[in-house]
Amino acid sequence: MEQTWRWFGPNDEATLGHARQAGATGIVTALHDIPYGETWSVEAIRERQRVIEADAAMGLRWSVVESVPVHEDIKLGRGDLDRLYENFRQTLTHLGACGVRTVCYNFMLILDWTRTDLAVKLPGGARALKLNMNELAAFDCHILKRPGAERDYTPDVLQRAAEWFDHAGEEGKARLWANVMAGLPGAFKRYDVAELRDVLAEQSELTHDQLRANLVQFLKEILPAAEKAGVVLCIHPDDPPRNLAGLCRIVKNAGDIAFILDAVPSEANGLTLCTGSLGANPENDVPAIARRFAGRVKFAHLRNVKKDPDGSFMESDHLGGDVDMVAVVETLLDEQQRRRLAGEPTSTIPFRPDHGHDLIDDGTRQTHPGYPVVGRLRGLAEIRGVMTALAHQKGYAL
């Protein structure tokens, strides 16, 4: 399994040197400066590769794209779709020509990953990401004031949400807004309350079946170009895996994944196995999902969560949450060995330690939420230990 590290580009305070010190050799990145829907040129891709590979002694390569963003109009099935599809196809063609062949993407409507607290204090001073259901309900019902929002929460959560809102003060409400907004994709648009309310009202009209149909249409338009370019697309599960603020989610569980992979059969139609996203749904047996779809896993995000009965969850130590990480890693190693014995050309499965706690001096760097240096280094080291022990036990080469 290839050990990789997410890097947000030259301005990321978690540097390429940090990635190499952590033990990674593959870099997971994207051209975040290019607006959604525009084509990534060969020149821009090669320039990013040049930066990653500048110090040959580090032995780094651009292993995975995360992500080529899917324009909101594609998800909504509107606008100049022919142009957007063609630009996406051209981007995949250019990536393939440059030797970057794994592309992670998601199909979540406007709210991407969502947390309500980005700095939960842990014993010893570490900090973690968390989604508190009462705070999400306060955001939805009392800040956004979305019509009908109360139907999505239990009476207990609604009561605690009202209490939180009454005592939070303007500073607490502003912090909650900023925490939720931190999960918005891209850097080109941030919303005030009225703007987000309008966007959510419009997008909430899209039904589950309509959003599914728009994803299937996207795949039908894009996958032939991916196949020709030698690129695989791997969809990322919804985070969290539940309908959110009136928006439907369509990559929440094993049934959703099966539908997507079966809807447009292609070796280029794959899965990013995110143990944290899937693990936030108490109905998901993540090791079983890993086993069921092992042959379609093209990339893995390995992180862990601890869930509360009301639907809240906190990101935990990589080996210390509700997901049996050892079982997941074993499945990925078995699948990688199967591919090697079958002579498949892309047998190695890249993975990265997804998210991590802020540890030791992580607070001194302005890194993206969930992407500290020391916290991810610890996670990668723990997973590497599990991987090495299992491979030794089974007689597999890493």
In the residue annotation, 236 being an active-site residue is answered as yes
Contact status, residue 82 vs residue 215, Cβ threshold 8 Å: no
Nearest to 216 by CA among 152, 264, 182, 262: 264
Catalytic pick from 71, 236, 318, 357? Answer: 236
Tell me if residue 274 is catalytic. Answer: yes
Neighbour tally for 215: CB within 10 Å: 22
3-state secondary structure of 113: coil
| 371 labelled catalytic | yes
Selected catalytic residue, list 140, 274, 318, 362: 274
HSE-up of residue 306 (Cα within 13 Å, Cβ side) = 9
CA angle 381, 32, 74 (to 5 degrees): 110
Say how far apart CA 326 and CA 390 lie, in whole Å: 9
β-pairing, 297-302 vs 269-274, is: parallel
No. of helices (H) and no. of strands (E), the chain: 13, 12
> Annotated catalytic, 85?
no
Q: CB count, 10 Å around CB of 121?
A: 11
- 354 catalytic per annotation: yes
H or E element: which one contains 121?
A: strand 117-121
Catalytic residue among 354, 357, 358, 362: 354
Burial 72-109 (b: 16+ CB within 10 A, else e): bbbbbeeeebeebbebbbbbbbbbbebebbbbbbbbbb
Q: How far apart are CA 96 and CA 50, in angstroms?
A: 16
Catalytic one among 18, 142, 301, 318?
Answer: 301
Closest CA to 7 of 69, 51, 55, 58: 51
Out of 85, 105, 153, 371, which one is annotated catalytic? 371
Number of C-beta neighbours around residue 332 at 10 A? 21
Q: Which of 18, 71, 94, 355 is catalytic?
A: 355
Catalytic center residues: 236, 274, 301, 354-355, 371
